[in-house]
Amino acid sequence: MPILLARLLARITMLGTWWTPVLVLSIVFLTSWPLMTLAEPADSAIVQPANYWWYFVVTAATVGYGDLYPESAAGHVVGAYVIVGGIATLTTVFARLSTALEKAKGRRMQGAITVEMSGHIVLLGYTPGRTEQMVDELIADGSSRIVLCAWDDVPTHPMPDRDVTFVRGDLTDDGVLRRAGVQRAHSMLVDARDDNEALAVAVTADHVVEGAHLVVALRDLGRVRHLRYVNEAVRCVQWHSPHMITEELKDPGITEIYTQLMTHGGADTYSVRLPKSLGSVLVDHCQTSLGRHHGATMLAARAGDTLLVNPGWQTRLPTGAVLYYVASRRLTPDEIVNTLRGAA
């Protein structure tokens, strides 16, 4: 009988389901109790219904408190059978856990998962080296969660050492984009292999997205008008400026400011060297006086060989420093001198 039961347990443990340990434990319990009843004396406390379940649990778990134990030799054999059954059950549980973890890791590495997060950044497309650079910039402050969604020609997770979730598939398939969670994303970048592909992916993304900020990297910004047919709110960024792309993903609208600064028609950026007659000047005076009287904003200053971008207001600029400011027009030297002298 024990040999037959051992063979049956061996067959059952080969099954690959979570019901296997339950089935093993149930068979051992239902067979060991009658066997223990036959092996032990009639007045044995161990075979009482109120006691045997406790004895079975602690014995199968290989804990063995010793408060209940068989007295006969046959009872010891049954006890050994319970121990073997418990070990078989635990082994099956651990095997199933290991298999489940391996499958989960395999699905993650192969990009076969479905993203459940929200408020994340989705990168649609992968270019070796370039994508890693953008990911490092995005996660540098620790506030951005990244999902990389790549074509099928990227067989496994290209950056498993980074905290990036990987999804793989056809980027023009809305089902793949939904697996990447674009419908719940904060912002999304279409970084395709060429501009035609970027347009195709952007059309699909715009169809799926439900409020995320959509950024498209283009090699030829002349194609912007085509994307305007898709959605006026799509933000197009020069493909060769990955740093500007990451800034736009984290802070939507920032590239529009850069564009206005670099194009004629709005406020432009100017520079002026402060005359030596002014002496040293506080940044505080430059910011407040130029802003109050001329609507200008100081961006930076050059003191000798040192460039100070967005310097602290209590910074004192030396004689002859160069100011860089944004204004609707270039201020004359006399305007700047009179303004700053009045603030000094």
- Residue extents of the structural domains in the chain: 2-108, 121-262, 268-343
pTM reported for the whole predicted model = 0.60
**309 CB burial (10 A radius; 0-12, 13-18, 19+):** exposed
Q: Looking at the domain covering 268-343, what would its CATH class be?
A: alpha beta
Two tokens, residue 216 = 């498209």
Rounded CA-CA distance 193/144 in Å is 24
- pLDDT in 10s for each residue of the chain, 344 residues: 455 555 555 555 555 566 777 787 788 888 888 888 888 887 888 888 888 888 888 888 877 777 787 888 888 888 888 888 888 777 777 777 776 666 767 677 888 899 999 999 999 999 999 999 999 999 887 878 999 999 999 999 999 999 999 999 999 999 999 999 999 999 999 999 999 999 999 999 998 987 789 999 999 988 888 888 888 888 899 999 899 899 888 888 887 777 666 555 556 788 888 888 888 889 998 889 999 998 888 888 998 888 998 888 999 999 889 988 888 888 888 888 888 886 54
Selection from 59, 60, 63, 65 nearest residue 91 by Cα: 60
Asked whether this chain's domains 2-108 and 268-343 adopt the same fold, the reply is: no
Which long-range contacts link 128-135 to residues 24+ away (Cβ below 8 Å)? 128/158, 130/191, 130/242, 131/158, 131/159, 131/191, 132/158, 132/159, 132/162, 133/242, 134/189, 134/191, 134/242, 134/245, 134/246, 135/159, 135/162, 135/164
* Assigned CATH for 121-262: 3.40.50.720
Report H helices in the chain.
Answer: 2-13, 19-39, 49-60, 73-109, 130-138, 174-179, 195-208, 224-230, 242-250, 254-262, 283-294, 333-343
Q: Is 303 helix (H, G, I), strand (E, B) or coil?
A: strand
Give the C-alpha distances (Å, rounded to integers) separating 257 from 180, 235, 300, 311: 30, 12, 17, 20
Based on its alpha-carbon atoms, the radius of gyration of the chain, rounded to whole angstroms, reads: 36
Q: Looking at the domain covering 2-108, what would its CATH class be?
A: mainly alpha
CB distance 219 to 193 below 8 Å: no
CB distance 274 to 268 below 8 Å: no
Position of tokens 């060429």?
194
Two tokens, residue 245 = 């792309």
Task: Quickly list DSSP for 270-293.
Answer: EEEEPPGGG-SEEHHHHHHHHHHH
Max CA distance (Å), the chain: 115
